[in-house]
Amino acid sequence: MLLLEERKQVIQYLRKMLTTHLTVGTGGNISIHNVEKNLLAVSPTSMDYFEMEPEDVVITTMDGEIVEGDRVPTSELSFHIALQNLRDDIHAVVHSHPIYSTTIACMNWEIPSVHYLVGFSGYKVPLAKYATYGTKELADNIVNAIGDNNAVLIANHGLLSVGKTIQSAYTTTEQIELVAQLYYQTKSLGDPVLLTKEQMDAVLAKFYPH
């Protein structure tokens, strides 16, 4: 079986998305790139995460051709491949529908530097324009929006995080959901005080030392 460890990780983190309330049902999807074999382990579409077995995770090339697996891959395969091919530091993608991040996305807002933990994404969490799920247009919108950031809101849809590892991409998802909740709550009280670029420079230097 190809990419057994990556398949197990896909299932592990899909289940974590449910138990940590980052999505519901079969919402969201995950991919992990094995750089050595240049293959992608990606979650199948519309399958109960707690019934999923390693053989249900689909293995594709970086062009989207199915190499191993009888399931249909996630309908969002196009943006997983586009992101994995976009930057050398992206080897895992986590797409989720957390309540607060998705609420902000439904307002068509970015998440600014309301809290230093936005640094898990970058200086902000940008917004990708809405397009129908599973389309090349949506993949293009996400690629055009993410830049050097590690997270992006998808308008009227949800949250997407990337990382060198599945653990880092998932951690970014959790932290950005917290920042989204803080942004929601501060906006309900008035105009939040944002950290300056210089303050965020200092945060990012500690987050990502060279």
Look up tokens 């990012």; give the residue: 204
Give the N- to C-terminal CA distance of the chain in Å, as an integer. 38
Number of domains in the chain: 1
Q: What is the pLDDT of residue 177?
A: 98
pLDDT tens, position by position, for the chain (210 residues)?
A: 999 999 999 999 999 999 999 999 999 999 999 999 999 999 999 999 999 999 999 999 999 999 999 999 999 999 999 999 999 999 999 999 999 999 999 999 999 999 999 999 999 999 999 999 999 999 999 999 999 999 999 999 999 999 999 999 999 999 999 999 999 999 999 999 999 999 999 999 999 887
Tokens standing for residue 36: 């050595």
Catalytic hit among 5, 51, 65, 76? 76
Q: What is the pLDDT of residue 152?
A: 98
Count CB neighbours of 12 within 10 A.
14
Cα atoms in the 13 Å half-sphere on the side-chain side of 72: 7
The verdict on whether 76 is a catalytic residue reads: yes
Q: What is the pLDDT of residue 154?
A: 98
What distance in Å separates the CA atoms of residue 39 and residue 22, rounded to the nearest whole number? 26
Q: What is the pLDDT of residue 200?
A: 98
Q: Are 96 and 175 in contact (CB under 8 A)?
A: no
Domain holding 72, by residue range, is 4-207
Task: Kindly report the CATH number assigned to the domain that includes residue 40.
Answer: 3.40.225.10
